[in-house]
């Protein structure tokens, strides 16, 4: 679960960015036509928006990067753990495809490219996405997105809920103010869910900060997430007969 404060800030600046994409061309067109451009009342607003966006770009380039332990190295480790386990113990009726897509933070370009390239091959696939799984309680992100929310696949969410009961820990459900691969997967008509670990209903205070380091990850949580994943896959496999 991302920090609500930083998620809200991210949403505000995203709206400002989208607004500027529309406002700036209109303003420039008016200036070129010299009809009303010199008198646009929105000129100061546009200048402020562009200044804020420029400051954000400079801040991103000239400050420390987040180590990204929980977001999202923990997920990469989970994919590798699944690869090692299912290499020697494959499911009976289900093929598992392990994918580590890139460029999530800048628009989920990795998963978009994958779906574009292999759409026909994976049209019947069910996707499990991992986000911030390194500490907290088992959670499914049921809705995510900035301006327009996208729901997860309800059937998969129920499978995940049943599978979670087998771990002895009740599954939580949350909504995300940002979006990840799960948003793209479901928006494009595929079936997907995003698994995350919710720190007992509290925001992840280390999200997108230099403090997101390996020592913050919880081994018990990662083991629980792995067992939950196995239970989900076994439920899917039994239903594939």
Among 62, 82, 105, where does a domain finish? 62
Lookup: tokens for 91: 């499911």
CB within 8 A of 220, min separation 6: which ones? none
Same domain, 47 and 88: no
Give dist(CA 219, CA 203) in Å, integer.
19
> Whole domain around residue 19: which residue ranges?
4-62
Among 62, 83, 103, where does a domain finish? 62
Give the chain's mean pLDDT: 86
Same domain, 26 and 145: no
Tell me, what CATH number does 141's domain have? 3.40.630.10
How many domains in the chain? 2
Q: Residue 71's closest CA among 194, 184, 209?
A: 209
Same domain, 31 and 131: no
Same domain, 148 and 234: yes
Same domain, 130 and 159: yes
Selected residue with higher pLDDT from 204 and 144:
144
Interval 183-238: pLDDT, tens? 999 999 999 999 999 887 666 788 888 999 999 999 999 999 999 999 999 999 99
Same domain, 58 and 73: no
Same domain, 168 and 217: yes
Q: Does the global pTM surpass 0.85?
A: no
151 beta partners = 143
Alpha helix segments (H runs only) across 63-141: 74-88, 109-118
Same domain, 47 and 99: no
Which long-range CB contacts under 8 A does 109-113 form with residues at least 24 apart?
110/181, 111/181, 111/184, 111/185, 112/184
Same domain, 23 and 125: no
Same domain, 217 and 141: yes
Task: Report the range of poorest mean pLDDT among 17-26, 47-56, 103-112, 143-152.
Answer: 17-26
Same domain, 88 and 191: yes
């Amino acid at each position: 679960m991302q920090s609500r404060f930083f998620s809200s800030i991210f949403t505000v600046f995203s709206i400002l960015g989208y607004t500027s994409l529309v406002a700036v061309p209109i303003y420039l067109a008016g200036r070129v036509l010299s009809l009303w451009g010199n008198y646009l009342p929105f000129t100061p607003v546009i200048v402020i928006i562009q200044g804020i966006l420029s400051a954000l770009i400079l801040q991103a380039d000239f400050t420390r990067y987040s180590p990204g332990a929980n977001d999202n190295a923990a997920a990469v480790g989970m994919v590798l753990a699944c690869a090692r386990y299912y290499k020697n113990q494959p499911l009976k009726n289900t093929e598992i495809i392990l994918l580590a897509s890139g460029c999530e933070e800048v628009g989920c370009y990795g998963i978009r490219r994958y779906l574009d390239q292999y759409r026909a091959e994976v049209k019947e696939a069910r996707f499990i996405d991992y986000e911030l799984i390194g500490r907290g309680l088992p959670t499914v992100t049921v809705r995510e997105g900035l301006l327009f929310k996208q729901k997860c696949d309800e059937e998969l969410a129920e499978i995940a809920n049943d599978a979670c009961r087998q771990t002895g820990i009740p599954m939580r459900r949350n909504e995300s103010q940002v979006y990840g691969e799960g948003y793209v997967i479901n928006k494009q008509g595929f079936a997907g869910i995003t698994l995350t670990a919710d720190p007992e209903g509290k925001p992840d205070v280390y999200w997108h900060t230099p403090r997101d380091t390996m020592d913050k990850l919880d081994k018990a949580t990662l083991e629980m997430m792995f067992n939950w994943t196995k239970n989900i896959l076994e439920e899917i496999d039994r239903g594939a007969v």
